[in-house]
Structure 1
């Protein structure tokens, strides 16, 4: 039985036909998903708002140890580009706080065209941290964000490790050391390709070592287009890194 703070899941909780046999027959997709995996990344929040009551219902559908990471809306990251976004940020946080203690983090995925600006980034991080004290994960996709390292440390922001890599500093987690967050999109074909067993074994070793040092570790598979994400998440969590998900801290 593992008590390491390791969370393994997918970007979304749809249970496809290919992996259905690994899950209970009864229950909603989320209830079935939550019986086998211990976290999920909510990406739908990027495109549209969800009511506070909807988040609360989702929280009630999963085991106590289960955690959600919620993606910040594109209105904030892609349209306002982190500028003058206090009101939509307040609205978003008011919604997703319906998850209560099962809210494990927020994901800030930036557009590839967004160049790092120290003043804009600091203003945004300050506003966000003033309202939310939990884990914040940043996925920048413009090379200029390599200059944000000191700011990430100051505001306790974790930069995600991403595959395929988008910038020169995202092949491994950087920023606030207390959290590691891996976003695996599939490679060589992004969103489609499955990861092979040697890759998963090596990944499991990295996650285990980080957790043994007291780091809270997340691993999210986003290679969802062909159903590979669910297969890889199950392989990692059952074969390479067995977890008792109800006992995960």
Structure 2
């Protein structure tokens, strides 16, 4: 199966010092981590923008340090998503998108994390907000709780499809499984991550996947096999896919990226993962899993 749609893969952060010696060369400096990350993986979640909007000079530096084919996927500020109705926050929404506009082609879809109380009774508000989204950008609406995903599912999907807005697919199944490693980390992750059922459907010509991995690599293997097959089909269907790999032990997240990419490359035609061509990096899947 030949793939023509882009596939992007990355982690939730880019500056994790424990990746030095694995994802990053030994001796790497903190100031160099974004430059190095963007030449090994191809996208990153921008979760920090939920709490603070970067200054113009920071955005300019991000653009200067990353290749044009890299993609940032920023989360919209909590001022927008968690202050009640979305429509009154349209000026803040547009200001946020404008602040990040200097990134140009490096801008991937944006995250809108809907709060637990945002249900079908507010979908008209969501529709009006999406209708006013800047036409030059992509947006992804994320159902973050079981409540939102379980009620008004068909209505939400129709709304997102109407506005070509993506859906964030969250897979927490791996952390619900017991493993041999990281029991305490698993307990913490289970408490913090919403226990939502997997709904592997897309509403647009792009989709975002958030995979929450198990610290025990072997637990992940059947899930990664399943995701590789599904992503291959989605790409074949013309959907651009952004996959974000998390692990409660953050040191192991990049290895999950490599493992999924290798599986997908066995099913499709993909360019080499940049990481595998940087610094003569090893292509062992489980190098960070001990």
TM value normalised by structure 2: 0.73
* Aligned counterparts of 1:220 and 1:100: Cα–Cα separation in 2: 21
Paired with 2:102 and 2:11, the residues of 1 have a C-alpha distance of 21
Shift of 1:104: 1.3
The alignment status of 1:56 with 2:29, answered yes or no, reads no
C-alpha contact 2:224 2:263 (8 A) present in aligned 1: no
**Paired position in structure 2 for 1:237:** 261
Aligned mate of 1:111, from 105, 108, 115: 115
Contact (CA 8 Å) 1:185, 1:223: kept in 2 or not? yes
Residues 140-169 of structure 1, C-alpha deviation per residue, up to 9 Å, x if partnerless?
12233512121111101111111127556x
Gaps of 5+ in 2: 173-193, 275-290
Q: Which moved more, 1:61-70 or 1:139-148?
A: 139-148
In 2, Cα distance between the equivalents of 1:9 and 1:101? Answer: 17
TM alignment of 1:34-49, pairs within 5 A:
34-49=38-53
Structure 1 245/230 Cα, relative in aligned 2: closer, same or farther at 3 Å?
Answer: closer
Listed as ranges, the gaps of 5+ residues in structure 1 are none
Matched, 1:183 2:215: no
State the alpha-carbon separation in 2 of the partners of residues 20 and 107 from structure 1.
31
Q: Deviations over 1:112-143 (max 9, x none)?
A: 22222232111111122xx2433211111223
Count the aligned residue pairs. 238
Alignment of 1:154-169 (within 5 A): 154-164=162-172
Higher helix share: 2
* Contact 1:106–1:137 under 8 Å retained in 2: yes
Which one has the largest radius of gyration?
A: 2
* Contact preservation (8 Å) 2:23, 2:254: no
Which one of 133, 136, 139 corresponds to residue 136 of structure 1? 139
In the alignment, is the contact (CA less than 8 A) between 2:24 and 2:33 conserved in 1?
A: no
Counterpart Cα distance in 1 of 2:47 and 2:170:
16
Q: Distance in 2 between matches of 1:2 and 1:209?
A: 9
2:262 and 2:66 map into 1 onto residues whose CA distance is 19
- For residue 107 of structure 1, report the CA deviation from its aligned partner: 0.8
What's the CA shift for 1:201?
2.2
Task: State the match for 2:24 in structure 1.
Answer: 23
Superimposed CA distance per residue, residues 187-232 of structure 1 (whole angstroms, 9 cap, x where no aligned partner): 6xxxx67662222122112112221232211101233554332221
Match of 1:70 in 2: 74
Task: Specify the alignment match of 2:14 in structure 1.
Answer: 13
TM-score (norm 1): 0.84
